[in-house]
């Protein structure tokens, strides 16, 4: 007898689902960032990033953002004005 586990006894790690922000203009139209969509490994990373760069985004014409986890909308649109 061996201590070899049965096939499928251990779950394989699931793929990391990226967190990302959809950028919207004042009319609610989706804007495509010039450098492409930035993805984050965690919600916390995504929220920290937008908290740091929201004024830059607003200066580029982004009026609001919506947070996604993969294809799932988490919340938003969130206005970037003061």
Q: Determine the Cα–Cα distance for residues 81 and 78; give it in Å rounded to an integer.
A: 9
**C-alpha dihedral sign at 39, 57, 74, 47:** positive
pTM assigned to the model:
0.79
In this predicted structure, what is the pLDDT of residue 34?
Answer: 83
| Measured distance between the N- and C-terminal CA atoms of the chain, rounded to whole angstroms | 68
pLDDT tens for residues 24-69?
A: 999 999 999 888 899 999 999 999 999 999 999 999 999 999 999 9
């Amino acid at each position: 007898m061996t201590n070899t586990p049965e096939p499928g006894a251990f779950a394989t790690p699931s793929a990391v689902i990226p967190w990302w922000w959809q950028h919207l203009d004042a009319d609610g139209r989706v804007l495509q960032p010039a450098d492409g969509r930035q993805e984050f490994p965690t919600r916390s990373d995504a929220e920290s990033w937008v908290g740091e760069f929201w004024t830059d985004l607003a200066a580029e014409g982004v009026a609001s953002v919506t947070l996604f986890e993969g294809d799932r909308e988490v919340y938003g649109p969130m206005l970037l004005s003061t």
